Amino acid sequence: MVLCGLWCAPSCVYGQEAGYFEQGNALYNSKKYEEAVSSYIRAIQQHPRTQPKAYLNCARAYSMLKNYAASERYYGFYLEVNPSGASDRKVMAEYKAVQKKVSGGGYVRDVSQTSVLEQVERMVAQGGPYWTRQGNGALAYYDVLLRTGFAEPKLARIQADLVVGTVEELKREVTPLPGQPLANLDRVGWEYIRTKIGRIRNFSDVETDMAFLEVLETTARAWEAYYRGDYGESREGFSRACQGNVRLPVAYWGRVILSFQYEDNEVLLEQISEAEKVYEERGVTGVGAAFALLRAQAYRNLGDLKRSLEWLDNMQGAL
Distance CA 75, CA 301 (A): 73
Q: Is residue 59 part of a domain?
A: yes
Q: How far is CA 268 from CA 181, 246, 253, 260, in A?
A: 17, 21, 11, 7
Number of domains in the chain: 3
Question: At residue 115, does pLDDT exceed 70?
Answer: yes
Q: How far is CA 242 from CA 69, 162, 237, 249, 304, in A?
A: 56, 28, 9, 9, 28
Q: Are residues 281 and 196 in the same domain?
A: yes
The angle, 0 to 180 degrees and rounded to 10, between the axes of the packed helices 89-101 and 68-81 is 150
CB 115 within 8 A of CB 93: no
Q: Are residues 93 and 176 in the same domain?
A: no
Q: Is residue 36 part of a domain?
A: yes
Q: Is residue 301 part of a domain?
A: no
When pLDDT is averaged across residues 176-194 and rounded to a whole number, the result is 93
Long-range contacts of 170-178 (CB under 8 A, 24+ apart): 170/196, 170/197, 170/216, 171/212, 174/216, 174/219, 174/248, 174/250, 175/249, 175/282, 175/284, 176/249, 176/250, 176/279, 176/284, 176/287, 178/284, 178/285, 178/286
Identify the band that residue 6 occupies on the pLDDT scale cut at 50, 70 and 90: very low
DSSP 88-119: -HHHHHHHHHHHHH--TTS----HHHHHHHHH
pLDDT of the residue at 241: 97
* Rg, the chain, Cα only: 27
Identify the band that residue 3 occupies on the pLDDT scale cut at 50, 70 and 90: low
Q: Are residues 274 and 210 in the same domain?
A: yes
Q: Which of 60, 77, 101 is the last residue of a domain?
A: 101
Identify the band that residue 5 occupies on the pLDDT scale cut at 50, 70 and 90: very low
Q: Are residues 58 and 88 in the same domain?
A: yes
Compute how many other C-beta atoms are within 10 angstroms of the C-beta atom of residue 36: 26
When pLDDT is averaged across residues 87-109 and rounded to a whole number, the result is 91
Q: Are residues 245 and 214 in the same domain?
A: yes
Q: Is residue 313 part of a domain?
A: no
pLDDT of the residue at 104: 75
Q: Which of 101, 128, 161 is the last residue of a domain?
A: 101
pLDDT tens by residue, 251-288: 999 999 999 888 777 889 999 999 999 999 999 999 99
pTM above 0.75, yes or no: yes
CB 94 within 8 A of CB 60: yes
Determine the residue type at 158. Answer: I
Distance CA 148, CA 72 (A): 19
Q: Is residue 127 part of a domain?
A: yes
CB 33 within 8 A of CB 58: no
41 half-sphere exposure, CB direction, 13 A CA radius: 17
CATH number at residue 38: 1.25.40.10
Q: Is residue 274 part of a domain?
A: yes
Q: Are residues 170 and 265 in the same domain?
A: yes
pLDDT of the residue at 165: 97
Distance CA 74, CA 54 (A): 9
pLDDT tens by residue, 199-226: 999 998 999 999 999 999 999 999 999 9
Q: Among residues 72, 35, 32, 34, which one has the least CA distance to residue 56?
A: 72
Domain that holds residue 162: 153-286
Q: Are residues 207 and 139 in the same domain?
A: no
More confident residue, 204 or 162: 162
CB 259 within 8 A of CB 268: yes
Q: Are residues 188 and 278 in the same domain?
A: yes
Q: Is residue 303 part of a domain?
A: no
Distance CA 205, CA 116 (A): 23
Distance CA 254, CA 218 (A): 12
Q: Which of 92, 123, 152 is the last residue of a domain?
A: 152
Q: Are residues 137 and 70 in the same domain?
A: no
Q: Are residues 157 and 147 in the same domain?
A: no
pLDDT tens by residue, 34-66: 999 999 999 999 999 999 999 999 999 999 999
Identify the band that residue 289 occupies on the pLDDT scale cut at 50, 70 and 90: very high
The angle, 0 to 180 degrees and rounded to 10, between the axes of the packed helices 52-64 and 33-46 is 160
CB 40 within 8 A of CB 59: no
Q: Are residues 148 and 273 in the same domain?
A: no
Q: Are residues 186 and 251 in the same domain?
A: yes
The angle, 0 to 180 degrees and rounded to 10, between the axes of the packed helices 20-29 and 33-46 is 160
Q: Is residue 305 part of a domain?
A: no
